[in-house]
Structure 1
Amino acid sequence: MRILLTGSSGWLGRFLAPRLRAAGHRVTGLDVAPGAHTDMIGTVADRALIDLVFAERGIEAVIHGGALHKPDIVRYPNQAFVDVNLSGTLNLLEAAVAAGASRFVFTSTTSLMISTAIREGRGDAAVWIDETLASLEPRNIYGVTKLAAEQVCRLIHAEHGLPIMILRTSRFFPEDDDTHLILSGENMKANELLHRRLTVEDAAEAHLVALERAPEIGFGTFIISAPTPFVPGDVAALKIDAPGVIARYFPDAAALYARRGWHLPQSIDRVYDAGLAERVLGFRCKTDFTALLAAMRDGAELPVAHVADYISPKERSASVAN
């Protein structure tokens, strides 16, 4: 297929584009910043450019991974999020319909499911999060615009029948978390594999599976995250004694962590359940907390990428320009 991949210079794009090409697809990469997998420079908010790309490249399918993200909140005004995340998504959807595209995959985020109350860890138990969670009250402009974009996807599918897969990916960014600085970046990412993270390789693979399954499924919204070892009955204990719960599933985890000077989470406030993606989409992340501990036991390279000084290509480009 001739595929338009937005966000092709970003962290996901650099892993996804080669996989798409290896699968035999002809990929046109679109990004605001140059990159190894980017063919055209520009923003999805530019409708004339989007129409030009579809016309010149004969686009048959779209994977829309480009967006302004949570760290961008301190760098860009709210209107920029509306222009890129919402209007840009509408531009792509309408262009796809006009071109008779066969499928559309939208990279969304689990962040839009996290209210201020969940973010602050209120309540006596961890929140079990699956696709039935309601009502959704995103806590920032990033989540608000991604949720609105999901609703536009739903509307376009209903009105035009365009097969659309929405992937609510959990965390896979490589840099340090800008809000949690107590633990080292690697330690934090390892902990998050228990309940709110996946590898970028698994994120890329999920998009390939969604691309193939879209016409058959028609429309779907899926949480994409490493499979959690926990069950809903653990939520109360996870909030007050996460190490005790973890020890029941992984008896040697504390010792393995101690060898590295790492710390297990003392409390877990949310758990993402990716079971629907496994049952309906047919996708399950290959890397989970079990795989992480196996690598620690064997002295092998850890399966979670950590690049503490990672800077997104658009910010590097802006820095050079200035």
Structure 2
Amino acid sequence: MRILLTGSSGWLGRFLAPMLREAGHIVTGMDVAPGADTDIVGSVADRMLVHRLFGDRGIEAVIHGGALHKPDIVRYPRQAFIDVNVTGTLNLLEAAERAGHDRFIFTSTTSLMITQAIRDERAAQAVWLDEASGPLEPRNIYGVTKLAAEHLCRLAYLEHGMACMVLRTARFFPEEDDTHRELTGANMKANEFLNRRLTVEDAARAHVVALEKAPDIGFGTFVLSAPTPFSRDDCAELKADAPAVIARYFPDAAALYARSGWQLPRSIGRVYDASLAERVMGFRCESGFAEVLDALREARGMPFAHDADYVSPKERMGAL
């Protein structure tokens, strides 16, 4: 298929574009910043550019990964989030509808599921989060605009019958967390594979699977995260004494961590359940906390990327 991939210069795009080509697709990359996989430098907020691109390139399907993200809140006004994340998504959906497309893949975020209360971990136990969780009350303009874009995808399916897959990805960024500094970046990322992280490679693989499955599913919203070892029955103890719960599932985790000078989380306040993606899409992440421990056990490189100096191409170029 001739696929338009937005966000092609970004972290996800640099892994997803080669996977799509390996699967036999012809990829047109679009991004506001130049990149190895970017053919068109421009914004999805430019309606005329988007519609012209569909005609010029014969686009047959869209994977919409381009967006302003949570760290961009300190760099751009709210209107920019609306222009890119909402209007840009609408521009792509309308162009896809006009072209008669049968599938549209939208990269969303688990961030829009996190209310301020969940963010502050006010509950007495860990909050179990899946596609049925709600009410959804995003705590910032990023989450608000991504939720609005999800609803535009839902309307495209209801009104035009275009299959739309909404993929709420957990964390996969390589850089340091922009709000937490208690642990080293690699240690923190390793911990998050217990409850709210996946590798960028798994995120890319999920998009390829969604592209294939979309016509059969129609419309679907899926949480994407490494499979958690925990169950709902663990939630109270996870909040009170996470190391005790982890020890039941991974008896040597504490010793492996100590050998590396790392710390296990003392408390876990939320858990993402990605089992629906496995049941409906047939997708399961290849890397999880067990693979992190395998790497520690065998003294080899981690199965995830950590780059404290990573800066997105958009910011390097000052592109928006």
* Superposed pair shares fold, TM > 0.5: yes
Residues of 1 paired with 2:16 and 2:27: CA distance? 10
Residues of 2 paired with 1:178 and 1:159: CA distance? 39
Residues of 2 paired with 1:78 and 1:195: CA distance? 30
Per the TM alignment, residue 2 of structure 1 is displaced from its structure 2 partner at its CA by: 0.1
Give 3-state SS (helix, strand or coil) of 2:166's partner: strand
CA offset digits 1:5-52 (Å, max 9, x no partner): 000000000000000011110000000000000000000000000001
Per the TM alignment, residue 299 of structure 1 is displaced from its structure 2 partner at its CA by: 1.2
Query: Counterparts of 1:69-80 in structure 2 under 5 Å?
Result: 69-80=69-80
Per the TM alignment, residue 300 of structure 1 is displaced from its structure 2 partner at its CA by: 1.6
| Structure 2 residue aligned with 1:220 | 220
| Structure 2 residue aligned with 1:38 | 38
2:263 matches 1:277: no
Give 3-state SS (helix, strand or coil) of 1:176's partner: coil
| Structure 1 residue aligned with 2:236 | 236
Give 3-state SS (helix, strand or coil) of 1:195's partner: coil
Query: Counterparts of 1:3-22 in structure 2 under 5 Å?
Result: 3-22=3-22
Give 3-state SS (helix, strand or coil) of 1:198's partner: coil
Give 3-state SS (helix, strand or coil) of 1:151's partner: helix
Residues of 2 paired with 1:13 and 1:231: CA distance? 32
Give 3-state SS (helix, strand or coil) of 1:30's partner: strand
| Structure 2 residue aligned with 1:107 | 107
Residues of 2 paired with 1:73 and 1:229: CA distance? 33
| Structure 2 residue aligned with 1:155 | 155
Give 3-state SS (helix, strand or coil) of 2:223's partner: strand
Residues of 1 paired with 2:160 and 2:176: CA distance? 41
| TM-score normalised by length of structure 2 | 0.99
Residues of 2 paired with 1:313 and 1:275: CA distance? 33
Per the TM alignment, residue 101 of structure 1 is displaced from its structure 2 partner at its CA by: 1.5
- One-letter amino acid of the structure 1 residue matched with residue 177 of structure 2: D
- One-letter amino acid of the structure 2 residue matched with residue 49 of structure 1: L
- One-letter amino acid of the structure 1 residue matched with residue 169 of structure 2: T
| Structure 1 residue aligned with 2:165 | 165
| Structure 2 residue aligned with 1:27 | 27
Per the TM alignment, residue 304 of structure 1 is displaced from its structure 2 partner at its CA by: 1.1
2:210 matches 1:203: no
| Structure 1 residue aligned with 2:117 | 117
2:179 matches 1:179: yes
Per the TM alignment, residue 295 of structure 1 is displaced from its structure 2 partner at its CA by: 1.1
Per the TM alignment, residue 291 of structure 1 is displaced from its structure 2 partner at its CA by: 0.8
Per the TM alignment, residue 55 of structure 1 is displaced from its structure 2 partner at its CA by: 0.4
In structure 1, runs of 5+ residues without a counterpart are none
- One-letter amino acid of the structure 2 residue matched with residue 160 of structure 1: H
Residues of 2 paired with 1:247 and 1:41: CA distance? 49
Residues of 1 paired with 2:215 and 2:290: CA distance? 33
| Structure 2 residue aligned with 1:141 | 141
Per the TM alignment, residue 102 of structure 1 is displaced from its structure 2 partner at its CA by: 2.2
| Structure 2 residue aligned with 1:302 | 302
How many residue pairs align between the two structures?
320
Residues of 2 paired with 1:123 and 1:18: CA distance? 42
Residues of 1 paired with 2:267 and 2:79: CA distance? 36
Query: Counterparts of 1:48-127 in structure 2 under 5 Å?
Result: 48-127=48-127
Residues of 1 paired with 2:54 and 2:100: CA distance? 10
CA offset digits 1:295-319 (Å, max 9, x no partner): 1111121101001010000000018
Residues of 1 paired with 2:123 and 2:63: CA distance? 37
- One-letter amino acid of the structure 2 residue matched with residue 81 of structure 1: F
Give 3-state SS (helix, strand or coil) of 2:93's partner: helix
CA offset digits 1:25-83 (Å, max 9, x no partner): 00000000000000000000000000011000000000000000000000000000000
Residues of 2 paired with 1:88 and 1:270: CA distance? 31
Residues of 2 paired with 1:135 and 1:318: CA distance? 36
Residues of 2 paired with 1:19 and 1:227: CA distance? 22
- One-letter amino acid of the structure 1 residue matched with residue 112 of structure 2: L
Residues of 2 paired with 1:229 and 1:182: CA distance? 24
Residues of 2 paired with 1:191 and 1:45: CA distance? 37
- One-letter amino acid of the structure 2 residue matched with residue 114 of structure 1: I
- One-letter amino acid of the structure 1 residue matched with residue 123 of structure 2: G
Residues of 1 paired with 2:163 and 2:225: CA distance? 22
Residues of 1 paired with 2:198 and 2:57: CA distance? 32
Per the TM alignment, residue 161 of structure 1 is displaced from its structure 2 partner at its CA by: 0.3
Per the TM alignment, residue 156 of structure 1 is displaced from its structure 2 partner at its CA by: 1.1
Residues of 2 paired with 1:281 and 1:302: CA distance? 27
CA offset digits 1:152-191 (Å, max 9, x no partner): 1101110000011000000000000010001000000000
In structure 2, runs of 5+ residues without a counterpart are none
CA offset digits 1:247-282 (Å, max 9, x no partner): 010010000000111000000000000000000011
